[in-house]
Amino acid sequence: MTASRPVEAPDAERTTAAVGWSAWRAVVGFGVVSLAADMVYEGARSVYGPLLAALGASAFVVGLVTGAGETAALVLRLAFGRLADRTGRYWSLTLAGYGLTAVCVPLLAVTPFIGGAGLALAIVLILAERCGKAVRSPSKSTLLAHAAGAVGRGRGFAVHKALDQVGAFAGPLLVAGIIALTAAIWPAMAALAVPGAAALGLLAFIRRRVPDPAVFEPEAVAPPLGPSPGSASSPMPQRAVPSTKPVRLLRATVGADLPRRFFLFAAAVGATTAGLITFGLVGYHLATQHLVPVAGVPLVYAAAMATEAVAALVTGFAYDRWHGWVLVCLPVLVTAVPALVFTGRLWVVVLGVLAWGAAVGVQDSTVKSLVADLVPAARLATAYGVFAAVQGAAAVLGGGAAGALYSRSVPALVGVVAATQVVAAVLLALSLRDDDPPEAAD
């Protein structure tokens, strides 16, 4: 397996002298930004359903809005990833995306006070907040990938994800505490302005100290961040990559000169995403089967978030030793989730929820390390955008199929998920072949 580029480590003294920060400090800085931002949007997401219901939304509207938001957060990354690589404005897009989240969530506090327009405004703000995720994610992941190049991408993404999940765990707890004290949702939304402002302030500080995280990479791996080769503002020609006709068609569709192995890996993770049932369906099962009281569902979610952080750390550190082969655990975890969750015994269900959290942790962290090792540095934001678009499309298809199958036959749902993960495992094995080095992959 040659997924990780066999290059010489960067000179620590050179990079620290150049930017004034070590690579680890930059990685941790990005992690703390994500911690604060996750407090904002994960705290809000934990009560989007009750908030919309209080404003007069039906169950159909709640499902439609939250589903559309998650799809937008993934699929729109395709456009913003390309934009980042074409313009080189990684920092600007990262700041803009976090800014949307920091502004839109606290504004939800005004929706109960404007009458019939409250529901419409809430829907707009929720969708705008999710679009903020799409705006920032490809650029932020690119900046982080470069900073993590000096410490090991697996470890770097793992530490970032662990800090991120601290916020994902703390945000819902903060919201729950404020609601318990005030008996209202809007004060909790207003309070989330504080971590939102902290995230923006820290991000601006990191930008001043580390304007170009590519300095942490070996010079042979990553040029300074800027417009991608072949863009209108760059004199460098694009590298010609031989390809089969279907892959050429896909590349023409997404506008990216990306290796064939990347597309195989994207398809593999798309299959795992399609098979990974949503927590909304898990929570529905917990409540309708009376396995836990409704108030206990957020606590189960918090436990999944904690497991997500642990799984990201374990697989991230393992990635730097065994590379992409550590990801073979992902189809296994996804297969186990419905078989465990959709039962009548609480302890078995809890095991399934923990497996769900572990799978999400691997998908949202360690897989990004392999993307960074399969794709030329100048096309990395584009690759993250394409990757997220594949996941978004798979999530829509898988979520709809899972909901339909759950209401008809749970054994059929378990069987379909298992079959999907066999396909995922085959595609993953193909993407991990060491027939050719990553830079020459077609």
Least confident of 46-60, 259-273, 337-351: 46-60
**In the predicted model, what is the mean pLDDT of residues 405-422?**
87
Which residue bears the tokens 């934009």? 83
Question: What is the crossing angle of helices 410-431 and 380-408, to 10°?
Answer: 160
Fold of 8-227: Growth Hormone; Chain: A; (1.20.1250)
**In the predicted model, what is the mean pLDDT of residues 58-73?**
70
- Of 49, 75, 161, which Cα lies nearest the Cα of 395? 75
Highest mean pLDDT among 56-70, 71-85, 247-261 belongs to 71-85
Domain boundaries, the chain: 8-227, 242-442
Note the pLDDT of residue 172: 81
pLDDT tens digits, residue range 143-185?
888 888 777 777 787 788 788 878 988 888 888 788 888 888 8
Is the pLDDT higher at 219 or at 54? 54
Note the pLDDT of residue 148: 82
What's the mean pLDDT when you consider all of the chain? Answer: 78
Note the pLDDT of residue 85: 84
User: Which residue type, as a one-letter code, is found at position 437?
Assistant: P
Radius of gyration over alpha carbons of the chain, in Å? 21
**In the predicted model, what is the mean pLDDT of residues 66-92?**
83
pLDDT > 90: what percent of the chain?
Answer: 21
Note the pLDDT of residue 71: 76
Give yes or no on whether 8-227 and 242-442 have one common fold: yes
Q: What is the pTM (predicted TM-score) of this model?
A: 0.66
Note the pLDDT of residue 287: 63
Task: Using pLDDT thresholds of 50, 70 and 90, give the confidence band for residue 360.
Answer: confident
Report whether pLDDT(404) > 80: no
Note the pLDDT of residue 281: 67
- Of 67, 49, 47, which Cα lies nearest the Cα of 58? 49
Report whether pLDDT(236) > 60: no
Residues 6+ apart with CB under 8 A from 143: 30, 90, 91, 94, 213, 225
Least confident of 103-107, 109-113, 114-118: 114-118
pLDDT tens digits, residue range 174-231?
887 888 888 888 998 999 999 999 999 999 999 988 888 877 766 544 445 555 444 4
pLDDT tens digits, residue range 279-328?
666 766 776 677 876 556 667 777 888 888 788 888 878 887 778 788 88
Least confident of 43-52, 294-303, 420-429: 294-303
pLDDT > 70: what percent of the chain?
Answer: 79
Q: Which CATH number fits domain 242-442: 3.40.220.10, 3.10.129.10, 1.20.1250.20, 2.60.120.200?
A: 1.20.1250.20
Q: Are 212 and 20 in contact (CB under 8 A)?
A: no
